[in-house]
Amino acid sequence: MSSFLEQLHRAKAERAARDVDPLREKVEAIVRGMEAVSTFALLDLLGLPKTTSNGRRIAPTMRTLGFVPIKSRRLMPGGYRDTVTRGWARPLREPPSKQCNKVGSLHTKPDQTDERKACHVQSCEP
């Protein structure tokens, strides 16, 4: 059983997190399991008006959830040529900040262990 002060601090921290990004919990629940979603559909699911300001409001939330902004015809039902909509998609690769420099590492040839050469094989060493 926690003391009253511990419960008070916990509630304060939860409220501060909610005040920083009030839409995060709702957006996170909606996009769970989705690979891509249009901004229009996301605003519709959230019940917000489809305005530029609301699109900008959800942008930081989507970035923190790991989505990247895209323009696509496939997000719009019946999208054809000039019908392009903006939306969000999960990246296929990891963001660059999590990858290491993978060019020009030294590897040994499989038949000779003493001879080393620079090659194009990508490896990540800590």
Q: Per residue of the chain (126 residues), what is the pLDDT tens digit?
A: 678 989 999 888 888 876 777 888 899 999 998 898 989 899 999 999 999 999 999 999 999 889 999 887 766 666 566 677 789 999 887 666 655 544 444 444 455 554 444 444 444 544
- Say if 48 falls within a structural domain: yes
- Say if 108 falls within a structural domain: no
- Say if 101 falls within a structural domain: no
pLDDT of residue 76: 61
Concatenated DSSP letters for 28-90?
A: HHHHTT-SEEEHHHHHHHHT----HHHHHHHHHHHHHTT-EEEEESTTSTT--TT--EEEEE-
Q: Report the candidate in 104, 109, 33 with the shortest Cα–Cα distance to residue 124.
A: 104
- Say if 47 falls within a structural domain: yes
Tokens standing for residue 114: 């003493």
- Say if 75 falls within a structural domain: yes
Global confidence as pTM: 0.56
pLDDT of residue 24: 87
pLDDT of residue 85: 78
Strand 116-118 relative to strand 85-89: parallel, antiparallel, unpaired?
Answer: unpaired
- Say if 115 falls within a structural domain: no
Domain that holds residue 59: 4-92
pLDDT of residue 51: 93
The total number of structural domains that make up the chain: 1
- Say if 11 falls within a structural domain: yes
pLDDT of residue 44: 92
Residue found by looking up tokens 């939330």 in the block: 61
Residue 96 and residue 14: Cα distance in Å, rounded?
Answer: 31
- Say if 123 falls within a structural domain: no
pLDDT of residue 56: 92
Query: With contact defined as beta carbons under 8 Å apart, do 68 and 89 qualify?
Result: yes
Strand partners, 74: none
